[in-house]
């Protein structure tokens, strides 16, 4: 059993699998409970959800809308926006917008175009630099950030799993601990997926079940033997 506990966990070694597991949980409803089970720290749980509470893509989108409304939707304005994106190092977004301009007249008039541009930008990294250029002052940018605070419970829960994994390690025994946490919260769908992603858990469970059955049989026999 000790050797099994020290075995490598295929599940905990793969962030993609951990994310897949976290997606099966109703994060807004369960984040606080699962987060506390995993991290045992209200401060850590609150800090993680705070870090994911800003929708930076939406902030960038609103900055683009602000700039468009202030400057116009003509071809000259589109070329100017392309240059701004290039100056910020956002060459992919700039190239896409340039191509879109060649296909659609006054493409900046379409919110969908600006939404597509914002989706191509790493918001957390670029929102400040790009945002200040687009809106012109820190106060306006700060107000936009304040209006885009929507807690991302799904991402926060995933980060809790990762932090727990980094602390507990990536062994099979750690996977068994995680299974107990999920089972305690009656997350049957999540437990089933964990067992699928971590075959070693199923073997351990079956082994334990067989041992329990083996232990019960003599006890039943002794009880029957003592009966009249």
Better pLDDT: 112 or 51: 112
Per residue, the 3-state secondary structure of the chain, as one string, reads CHHHHHCECCCCCCHHHHHHHHCCCCHHHHHHHHHHHHHCCHHHHHHHHHHCCECHHHHHHHHHHHHHHHHCCCHHHHHHHHHHHHHCCCHHHHHHHHHHHHHCCCHHHCHHHHHHHHHCCCHHHHHHHHHHHHHCCHHHHHHHHHCCECCCHHHHHHHHHHHHHHHHCCEHHHHHHHHHHHHHCCCHHHHHHHHHHCHHHHHHHHHHHHHHHHHHHHHHHHHHHHCC
Would residue 104 count as lying in a domain?
yes
Would residue 45 count as lying in a domain?
no
Would residue 136 count as lying in a domain?
yes
- Whether residues 122 and 175 fall in one domain: no
Instruction: Give me the domain span that covers residue 63.
Output: 56-146
- Whether residues 63 and 116 fall in one domain: yes
User: Model pTM?
Assistant: 0.52
Would residue 159 count as lying in a domain?
no
- Whether residues 141 and 67 fall in one domain: yes
| Predicted local distance difference test score (pLDDT) of residue 141 | 87
Least confident of 1-10, 82-91, 102-111, 177-186: 1-10
Would residue 46 count as lying in a domain?
no
Dump pLDDT digits (tens) for 60-104: 999 999 999 999 999 999 999 999 999 999 999 999 999 999 888
- The total of structural domains in the chain comes to 2
- Whether residues 10 and 85 fall in one domain: no
- Whether residues 35 and 61 fall in one domain: no
């Amino acid at each position: 059993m000790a050797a099994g506990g020290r075995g490598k966990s295929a599940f905990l070694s793969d962030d993609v699998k951990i994310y897949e597991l976290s997606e099966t949980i109703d994060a807004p409803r369960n984040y606080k409970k699962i987060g506390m089970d995993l991290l045992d720290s209200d401060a850590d749980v609150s800090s993680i959800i705070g870090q994911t509470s800003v929708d930076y893509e939406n902030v960038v989108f609103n900055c683009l809308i602000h700039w468009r409304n202030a400057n116009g939707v003509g071809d000259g304005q589109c070329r100017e926006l392309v240059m701004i994106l290039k100056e910020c190092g956002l060459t992919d977004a700039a190239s896409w917008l340039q191509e879109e301009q060649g296909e659609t007249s006054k493409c900046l008039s379409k919110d969908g175009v600006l939404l597509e541009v914002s989706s191509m930008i790493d918001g957390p990294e670029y929102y400040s630099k790009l945002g200040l250029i687009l809106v012109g002052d820190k106060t306006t940018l700060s107000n936009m950030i304040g209006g885009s605070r929507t807690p991302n419970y799904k991402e926060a829960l995933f980060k809790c799993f990762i932090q727990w994994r980094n602390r507990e390690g990536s062994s099979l025994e750690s996977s068994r601990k995680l299974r107990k946490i999920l089972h305690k919260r009656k997350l049957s769908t999540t437990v089933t997926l964990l067992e699928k992603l971590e075959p070693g858990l199923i073997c351990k469970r079956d082994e334990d079940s067989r041992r329990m059955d083996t232990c019960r049989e003599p006890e039943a026999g002794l009880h029957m033997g003592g009966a009249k």
